């Protein structure tokens, strides 16, 4: 049967999930029922996609990442090796809290670095960049650069993943794409 995607023979793919064309699922990964994975995604070794998770197109999930119920990743998201999502604020082994999962949305083009932790109930803004090992405990604005534990907003990133340096007029240029960005007086970045 032609599936339109590739799955390594060691991957477990449960019935009731949708997987887009051109997607690759590598060694020892588990795709659970009800999840939706878009076209041209790449899921590395030892990845778990829990029920009802949604991944957009061209999402890159590196090795050893578990994406739990309540997470939605839009198109072009990058999830670094061993980064972590949570889905319950106050987990306890002896208390069932499946009805208390909190949603986490990762907006288009965002990158989350290796070993970062995203606490549930937060939104990661489009084209934001979460540094390796950071712990995100609140919403992240679009284009923001977040580092540390707890995560701190220390700057801005271009859509090509370069640090933006704004002049006195609030303008910056990406050194790779040469696209222009504006930092508003309200503290929001937009591409011109």
Q: Domains of the chain: which residue ranges?
A: 6-87+101-157, 164-192
Check: CB of residue 189 under 8 Å from CB of residue 174.
no
pLDDT digits (tens, 9 = 90+) for 119-157: 999 999 999 999 999 999 999 999 999 999 999 999 999
Which residue in 149, 93, 75, 78 sits closest to 119, CA to CA? 149
Please tell me what DSSP assigns to residue 105: E
Quote the pTM value. 0.95
SS3 98: helix
Confidence of residue 2 (pLDDT cuts 50, 70, 90): low
CB 128 within 8 A of CB 76: no
CATH code for the domain defined by 6-87+101-157: 2.160.10.10
At 3-40, the pLDDT tens digits run 899 999 999 999 999 999 999 999 999 999 999 999 99
How many CA atoms, within 13 angstroms, populate the side-chain half-sphere of residue 129? 14
Per-residue pLDDT at 1: 47
Does the pLDDT of residue 98 top 90, yes or no?
no
Count the neighbouring beta carbons within 10 Å of the beta carbon of residue 145: 20
Question: Three-state SS for 180?
Answer: strand
Backbone φ and ψ for 26, nearest 5 degrees, come out as: -100, -170
């Amino acid at each position: 049967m032609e599936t339109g995607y590739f799955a390594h023979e060691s991957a477990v793919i449960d019935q009731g999930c949708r997987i887009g064309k051109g997607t690759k699922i590598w060694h020892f990964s588990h795709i659970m029922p009800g999840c939706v994975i878009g076209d041209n995604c790449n899921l590395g070794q030892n990845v778990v996609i829990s029920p009802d998770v949604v991944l957009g197109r061209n999402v890159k999930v590196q090795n050893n990442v578990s994406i739990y119920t309540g997470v939605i990743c839009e198109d072009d998201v990058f999830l670094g090796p061993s980064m972590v999502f949570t889905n319950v604020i106050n987990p306890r082994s002896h208390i069932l809290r499946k009805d208390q999962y909190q949603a986490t949305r990762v907006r288009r083009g965002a990158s989350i670095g290796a070993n970062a932790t995203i606490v549930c109930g937060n939104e990661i803004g489009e084209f934001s960049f979460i540094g390796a090992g950071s712990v995100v405990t609140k919403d992240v604005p679009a284009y923001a650069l977040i580092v540390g534990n707890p995560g701190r907003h220390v700057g801005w990133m271009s859509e090509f993943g370069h640090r933006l340096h704004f002049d006195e007029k609030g303008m910056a240029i990406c050194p790779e794409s040469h696209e222009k960005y504006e930092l508003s007086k309200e503290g929001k970045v937009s591409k011109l």
